[in-house]
């Protein structure tokens, strides 16, 4: 009888060990799955400027063209609560949108052109939409994000558009996927002649707003050439600005494109880098009047200080 009792005890002990072993194995497997998921999330957050859908590059895009869906996964739409878009932006990392500072405040009083705090948009005054392609129609890939804080460059001048850059911190970052991916910050300044692509939902040459995201391909222009072009209009092109476009005109960013990305491709790495954001200009696509963009490389230190990002 005692022997039988001992055998039962051993059998129960073996069964418990089996159950515990099975539970421990499941726990360990769950731990490694969670760790792998965390590592993958970190990799996705650090991965930038590598869209799954590649753009068919051509020498010139005549007067702009509709962008292929997914080729500009870093672009963001700034929208009023009623759904009306008013500016563009670019996703940096997993929690920041870079845009133009002039997008984030109301028009100033001409008699008192000082940017007081009450001119600034409140985080509840607008939202961010990523994964967007159509201007007004819904996209199955779009994500609506709430704004936590806004940061205007401390040296931004609303009268001259110097340092016309701002950062929007999101309450919660988007889910990164094939249609939502951050852009890389530039590692060096851009040279004259570099081909860049500008994207946005703005007016096409002051005629009408497009139905979908549009893009143009234009070259960066010599800084002095741009300064001389705007001198007769008494407009200053400062060192923190980049000009782009063709001397004969015809292609430019327009109303509604402000804050949107100007990017260039690194042929060695295959990554896209943010060169500038749409800032200002005279009309759209006028001969001898180039589009003016905020130089991201000139503002990179401030961007990294605010966001704590390396790239």
* Mean pLDDT value across residues 117-126: 90
HEC-encoded secondary structure of the chain: CHHHHHHHHHHHHHHHHHHHHHHHHHHHHHHHHHHHHHHHHHHHHHCCCCCCCCCCCCCCCCCCEECCCCCCCCEEEEECCCCCEEEEEEEECCCEEEECHHHHECCCECCECCCCHHHECCHHHCEEEECCCECCCCCCCCEEECEEEEEECCCCECCCCECCCEEEEECCCCCCECCECCCECCCCCCCCCCEEEEEECCCECCCECCCECEEEEEEEECHHHHHHHHHHHCCCCCCCEEEECCCCCCCCCCCCCCCCEEEEEECCCCEEEEEEEEEECCCCCCCCCCEEEEECCCCHHHHHHHHCCCC
Q: Where are the domains of the chain?
A: 1-46, 65-307
Query: So what's the pLDDT on residue 93?
Result: 96
The predicted model scores a pTM of: 0.81
Query: So what's the pLDDT on residue 257?
Result: 79
Nearest-angstrom CA–CA distance, 257 and 86? 8
Nearest-angstrom CA–CA distance, 93 and 219? 27
Q: What is the pLDDT of residues 13-37, one digit of tens each?
A: 555 455 555 666 666 676 665 655 5
Q: Which CATH number fits domain 65-307: 3.30.750.80, 3.30.2450.30, 2.40.10.10, 3.40.190.10?
A: 2.40.10.10
Nearest-angstrom CA–CA distance, 120 and 10? 75
pLDDT band at 41 (very low <50, low <70, confident <90, very high): very low
Statement: residue 146 has pLDDT above 60: yes
Statement: residue 306 has pLDDT above 80: yes
Round the average pLDDT of the chain to a whole number and report it: 83
Residues serving a catalytic function are 102, 164, 258
What are the residues facing 122 on neighbouring strands? none
Burial class (CB in 10 A: 0-12, 13-18, 19+), 138: exposed
pLDDT band at 117 (very low <50, low <70, confident <90, very high): confident
- Report the percent of the chain where pLDDT is more than 70: 75
Statement: residue 128 has pLDDT above 60: yes
Burial class (CB in 10 A: 0-12, 13-18, 19+), 259: buried
Nearest-angstrom CA–CA distance, 278 and 87? 9
Query: So what's the pLDDT on residue 44?
Result: 47
Query: So what's the pLDDT on residue 211?
Result: 83
Q: What is the pLDDT of residues 164-201, one digit of tens each?
A: 999 999 999 999 999 999 999 999 998 999 999 999 88
């Amino acid at each position: 009888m005692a022997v039988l009792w001992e055998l039962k005890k051993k059998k129960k002990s073996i069964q418990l060990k089996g159950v515990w072993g099975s539970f421990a194995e499941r726990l360990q497997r769950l731990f490694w799955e969670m760790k792998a998921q965390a590592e993958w999330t970190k990799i996705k957050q650090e991965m930038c400027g590598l869209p799954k859908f590649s753009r068919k590059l051509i020498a010139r895009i005549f007067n702009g063209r509709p962008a292929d869906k997914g080729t500009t996964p870093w672009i963001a739409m700034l929208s009023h609560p009623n759904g009306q878009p008013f500016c563009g932006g670019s996703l940096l990392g997993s929690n920041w949108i870079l845009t133009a500072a002039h997008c984030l405040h109301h028009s100033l009083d001409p008699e008192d052109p000082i940017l007081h705090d009450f001119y600034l948009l409140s985080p509840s005054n607008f939202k961010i939409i990523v994964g967007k392609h159509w201007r007004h129609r819904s996209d199955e890939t779009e994500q609506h994000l709430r704004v936590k804080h806004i940061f205007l460059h401390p040296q931004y001048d609303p009268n001259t558009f110097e340092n016309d850059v701002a950062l929007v911190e999101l309450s919660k970052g988007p889910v990164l996927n094939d249609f939502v991916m951050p852009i890389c910050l530039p590692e060096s300044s851009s040279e004259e002649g570099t081909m860049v692509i500008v994207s946005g939902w703005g007016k096409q040459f002051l005629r009408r707003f497009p139905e979908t995201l549009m893009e143009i391909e234009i070259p960066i222009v010599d800084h002095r050439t741009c300064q001389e072009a705007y001198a007769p209009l008494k407009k200053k092109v400062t060192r923190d600005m980049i000009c782009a476009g063709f001397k004969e005109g015809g292609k430019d960013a327009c109303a509604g494109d402000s804050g949107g990305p100007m990017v260039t491709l690194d042929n060695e790495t295959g990554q896209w880098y943010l060169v500038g954001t749409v800032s200002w200009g005279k009309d759209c696509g006028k001969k001898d009047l180039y589009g003016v963009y905020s130089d991201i490389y000139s503002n990179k230190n401030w961007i990294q200080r605010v966001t704590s990002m390396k790239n």
